A and B are shown apart, each in its own frame.
Chain A
Amino acid sequence: MFSGFMVNAWAVGTMVAVVAGVVGFFVVLRGSAFPAHAIPNGAFAGAAGASLIGINPLIGLGVFSLGAALGIGWLGRRGRADAVTALMLVLMLALGAAFLSQSTQYEPEIYSLLFGEILGVSTTELLPVLILGGVCVAAVGILFRRLLVTSIVPEIAAARGLRIHRTEVAFLVVVAAATTMTVPVVGALLIFTLMIGPPAAARCLTDRPGRALGASVAVALTTVWASIACSFESNWPVGFFVGVFSATAYGLGRAYAAWHLSRVGRPAPAVA
């Protein structure tokens, strides 16, 4: 389980979990679950387009995820954020369907772009993931206070002169970078699950931002490691285990929050 090609799977899974735990913490805090779903799915179309014209899929992923992030930010400024996100998402997916209709791509390629191929990661794929992941974590570190204030008390942030809309766009760009790095290895659908389940579970455990962030990374790591191990043993897709374990973690988190409430008598953690 820890030899040969599996070493790459463990390494890349760990990096993805850390980035998803950190970025996902703010996704849940800001209620940005829909953009976090739309950007990776839109990026998938970019990979299909890149393979059609024969360039590196990573470029297609980057361009499309950035385009989705900026499009959601720009259109969402005047209009309903969730409706605009839905429209950007279907526009990207429709472009993807158009690209696929023109290419002779073999079907398992689609499956792997959507659901990932973590057990088949090559060593050359590790470096871009490491670099982009580092950039994402660093960006969240720089934006940390600003993100926290604009997420929790937007009124105060506005009074302080923080540019809320710019912060939102900057955050969406971070999500796009995290997406570019993770879609080739874990797939468009999985990265979303990892950005929602573990952070939402972590928010049930504590309401202190620092601790919740740490818990979020810890739960994400546990989920990914357990999923890789189970997938290796059972031969079933990693995505299945990530989905089930994330939902289970959230269920346990909610149960803990309810138990804490009944014991202490006050809702200490803010249930997301």
Chain B
Amino acid sequence: MHLLFEPGFFASGPVRTAVVIGGVAAVVSAVVGVFTVVRSQSFAGHALTDIATTGGSGAFYLGFNPLAGFIGGGVVGAGAMDLIGVQRVRSRDVATGIVLGAATGLAALFLYLDTTSSATTGATQQILFGSIFTIDRSTVPVVVVLSVVTLVGMAVIRRPLLLHSVSPELATVRGVAGRGIGLAFMLALAVSVGLSSVAIGSILSTALLIGPAAAALRVTRSIGAATVVACGLGIATTWLGILLAYDSADWVRSGQGLPVSFFIVVLTFLSYLVTGVPAVRRLAGRPGRHPAPADPAPADRAPADRAPAAPAEG
């Protein structure tokens, strides 16, 4: 038993906080992530982590609560993307890119001011990479409450959002306001990403948003089932990653353990690769070949997405 669980694993306060927060972030990310992947908005999902980070570094410089900065930055970024045209597939990439570029510039300024105005070393790395083991205990209740609010919001917009994601035309006929539902989803995405980047760092935020959802959508076609599978995968990789990171201090000669984000991301990546193996897909009742036409994101894809599936492929 001690081989798997190092002595003191369960008694450690930071580990317990990490297990709780990691689990909560994994569930919220998976629920929002399934729609992010289906709607082909992974870039926006990732960009919002960087934009939230800008908000976080701005709050750090101005002396606000970083959590407010992270979420405020994400929400403002999502609004700006919507304004430029994230709802149209063709201009989505550029809209996201422009907002991300501007936010990155601001982040450069804030981090520069942070490091010149105060002597806090470690600020850059802390803000950019975050760490699940250094979560402030006092932010835990806020993170949990906001996560519940995001989940309730997703439950409310679930049906129209699903319809709009799968067939925007049909949604319009049915009277779903596409722009409104798109914006509502972007806001949910911004809040969930802001929460997870402050709690578990920006790398893990994207990893848990996209990885489990993309893997789940490779083994099941139903959104409901995919959400459940993604939640399970997200929680499993997060907790296993925390365990491995805790143990890893003994593996490396320096005694300096490897970061938890490294393990979680590697596990996530492996789960994505494994779910692509034809035998696994058959086991889950989904035909192994031709993934492109079966994916439930038909009219909503950019041409660049479709290109690899073109028939002239040599």
Is this pair of chains taken from one and the same complex? yes
**Bound Cα distance from A266 to B102, whole angstroms:** 30
Q: Which of B92, B108, B269 contacts A239 (CB 8 A)?
A: B108
Q: Given A81-B305, A85-B43, A236 and B112 touching (CB < 8 A)?
A: yes
Q: Which of B45, B101, B206, B259 contacts A196 (CB 8 A)?
A: B101
Q: Given A150-B307, A163-B314, A33 and B97 touching (CB < 8 A)?
A: yes
**Contact assessment for B259 and A165 in the assembled complex, using a CB-CB cutoff below 8 Å:** no
**Contact assessment for A164 and B310 in the assembled complex, using a CB-CB cutoff below 8 Å:** yes
Q: Given A34-B93, A163-B313, A91 and B302 touching (CB < 8 A)?
A: no
**Residue numbers in A under 8 Å from B43 (CB-CB):** 33-34, 37, 82, 85-86
- What is the count of residue pairs linking A and B with beta-carbon distances less than 8 angstroms? 234
**Contact assessment for B303 and A236 in the assembled complex, using a CB-CB cutoff below 8 Å:** no
Residue A268 at the B interface, CB < 8 A? no
User: Nearest chain-A residue to B272 (Cβ)?
Assistant: A87
Residue B258 at the A interface, CB < 8 A? yes
Residue A77 at the B interface, CB < 8 A? yes
Q: Given A196-B94, A237-B109, A94 and B265 touching (CB < 8 A)?
A: yes
**Contact assessment for B42 and A86 in the assembled complex, using a CB-CB cutoff below 8 Å:** yes
User: Nearest chain-A residue to B201 (Cβ)?
Assistant: A97
**Residue numbers in B under 8 Å from A193 (CB-CB):** 100-102, 104-105
Q: Which of B124, B259, B295 contacts A97 (CB 8 A)?
A: B259
**Contact assessment for B111 and A115 in the assembled complex, using a CB-CB cutoff below 8 Å:** yes
User: Nearest chain-A residue to B112 (Cβ)?
Assistant: A237
**Contact assessment for A76 and B308 in the assembled complex, using a CB-CB cutoff below 8 Å:** yes
Quick one: CB contact mask for A248-266 with B, threshold 8 Å, 1 for yes? 0010001000000000000
A-side interface mostly: helix
User: Nearest chain-A residue to B292 (Cβ)?
Assistant: A78
**Bound Cα distance from A247 to B97, whole angstroms:** 10
Residue B115 at the A interface, CB < 8 A? yes
**Residue numbers in B under 8 Å from A102 (CB-CB):** 252, 254, 256, 258
Q: Given A111-B111, A111-B124, A240-B109, A83 and B307 touching (CB < 8 A)?
A: no
Q: Given A189-B104, A243-B103, A161 and B206 touching (CB < 8 A)?
A: no
Contacting A at CB under 8 A, from B272-292, are: 272, 276, 291-292
Residue A49 at the B interface, CB < 8 A? no
**Residue numbers in B under 8 Å from A165 (CB-CB):** 307-308, 310, 313
Residue B91 at the A interface, CB < 8 A? yes
Residue A19 at the B interface, CB < 8 A? no
Residue B238 at the A interface, CB < 8 A? no
Q: Which of B101, B276, B312 contacts A164 (CB 8 A)?
A: B312
Residue B63 at the A interface, CB < 8 A? no
**Contact assessment for A32 and B304 in the assembled complex, using a CB-CB cutoff below 8 Å:** yes
**Bound Cα distance from A244 to B295, whole angstroms:** 38
**Residue numbers in B under 8 Å from A101 (CB-CB):** 256-259, 262
Q: Given A31-B303, A101-B256, A159-B312, A80 and B124 touching (CB < 8 A)?
A: no
**Bound Cα distance from A158 to B258, whole angstroms:** 46
Q: Given A31-B93, A102-B252, A243-B106, A90 and B265 touching (CB < 8 A)?
A: yes
**Contact assessment for A97 and B256 in the assembled complex, using a CB-CB cutoff below 8 Å:** no
Residue B9 at the A interface, CB < 8 A? no
**Residue numbers in A under 8 Å from B307 (CB-CB):** 150, 154, 164-165, 168
**Bound Cα distance from A115 to B110, whole angstroms:** 12
Residue B167 at the A interface, CB < 8 A? no
**Contact assessment for A189 and B108 in the assembled complex, using a CB-CB cutoff below 8 Å:** yes
Q: Given A33-B96, A237-B108, A237-B112, A81 and B122 touching (CB < 8 A)?
A: no
- What's the nearest-Cβ distance from chain B to residue A204, in Å? 10
Residues of B within 8 A of A (CB): 37, 40-43, 45-47, 84, 90-94, 96-109, 111-112, 115, 121-122, 124-125, 128-129, 203-204, 206-207, 209-211, 213-214, 218, 252, 254, 256-259, 261-262, 264-266, 268-269, 272, 276, 291-292, 295, 297, 302-308, 310-314
Residues of A within 8 A of B (CB): 28, 30-34, 36-37, 76-87, 89-91, 93-95, 97-98, 100-102, 107-108, 110-111, 114-115, 150, 154-155, 157-159, 161-166, 168, 189-190, 192-193, 196-197, 200, 236-237, 239-244, 246-247, 250, 254, 271-272
29 chain-A/chain-B pairs, Cβ below 8 angstroms: A31-B303, A34-B93, A37-B46, A78-B292, A79-B214, A80-B214, A86-B211, A89-B46, A90-B211, A90-B265, A90-B269, A94-B262, A95-B262, A97-B259, A100-B125, A107-B124, A115-B111, A115-B112, A154-B310, A155-B310, A164-B310, A165-B308, A168-B304, A197-B97, A200-B98, A239-B105, A240-B105, A246-B102, A271-B91
Known: A33-B97, A89-B46. 4 other contacts (CB 8 A): A31-B302, A34-B42, A239-B108, A240-B105
